[in-house]
Chains A and B, each alone.
Chain A
């Protein structure tokens, strides 16, 4: 049903581990050429690329600070010079550092908001320009979070950025439609280092944390990848500007 298509060129930021890597693996299993970025941990990125190449030999990766325009543009240029186009891009890179609002420093605000929101802007604009130039259309996916949809706590910087990403998604869905580019947002929940950090910050034991999920457990990243593939498939050709929570109803 995901209308398996081989050899699309798919870009995913922040895919050394967690949801980003799981999504990259899902696209690779579909036969797509994936190029990923990691921001901080070279070893983790190399390991991730190794895993992807065992599925799809054309996978590649680059160390890119998602909020650094020169680095993002350099990665995009290298990808386009090799493959000639971009079909899908997923702006997934993010950081979280749960902190009481009254204690958030300017530096942390800039890092967190910059990585999520500016990082999403840079990828959407860079990939959007390529898609518009090659006239091939495409699918852009942004990543938001339950903190943007409902009140959260301890993550004011993160929630603000994730809320901005939703507004950016909606704006782009209108503005890029003439280029046959669809733009949608997924708000996922899965067990990652981010949820580990939140669990520690909120002093919840594993059982209490699991109870927050209607399914009684937090899914692993590989269990929530299908919505990303669906939004990039022909079956989603009339879906744009949507925000889809993949969170077992947590934010409903």
Chain B
């Protein structure tokens, strides 16, 4: 069976997207591969397809529980049952049962912390691991935008598993980050595929406004004007809810909000409603969008600027996967960046929490105020590392924290520089990844674009039908 056959029969696609074939063929020829494919081009196919042509198991390291869930669900929906996700949310019995039967699975998704458990490594060792996949591989580098300390231990884990064939995937990694990936995973020889971060069908526009009132006004104008569906990103939960109220008042009825403070079941429903086309607009925090396979998103608006260029490209990359014209708008008002200063500080334990952890050796789970998931991960990792290096843990942790905070401030400034620049926006972001800029039509506000291309032309069906439980139930569960 060749790769085309698998692509048609297993996945139902007619052709590869840019970069997929190169990555897949590189893996199948037995070379360690590092592939940088822009968001929205189907990275997961790069390990899913080879799995059907390789004899053994495919291990996938993934940084986020929700991402793991999305990917396992997508595989299952395609009829693949041999999928399991191992993460810290499994109950003890479930985990034991899963570990005892790992050879039943073709795809094993793991969080990096699971790979630190001897029993997990012990259960993986007897398997024939045909491919070791590191998803979101930029997490390994502190020069990357989403550094995960536990990703740095993956190189040792690879050795313990007998140095299997490895595929590192990322959407956005500068040369420096790619170097960290190679070193971190102990990959001396590696085939590198770097595809352009440019998404030619997404036009870019930045608008600077006087204050929040003007921004609200403009948001309503834009959302009303553009062809839907679309996503609006905010950097706070409350802001998403307020925006939905205003959009609805302005007549955009099929709008909903999505953020991490909602019940998991409600979040899932919003995601499904958006996928099925029952919603036109989702106002969301950055928690929304990862792992969502929706082809026809026409606009992404940033009501607040993202904390760095890489997040921005990831988020706008959710638009226009079908290749049709799409638009990304960023609204900026003076002072917006200060929100991120605050958010960044919240990602790390404060001095009081560090003291409890070090001086009083309080269990990370019992610290007051309680540590967030990110804070706990940071605390556990660097306390351990300090002990290994025989350093004062409190001093070491504060130093690491301040170092990372400085990095984040630098990333924030890069983002601001991009916003304030009067150069071509596309050229600027490509330059950021050491790519040669190119001229193209429908580029950005600096080169000049015509927003009417993205205008909503169809008249929206406004009226919602009457609610009647008999009709609704008969529709759901028809008789003979």
A binds B: no
Residues of B within 8 A of A (CB): none
Show the binding face of A for B, using Cβ within 8 Å.
none
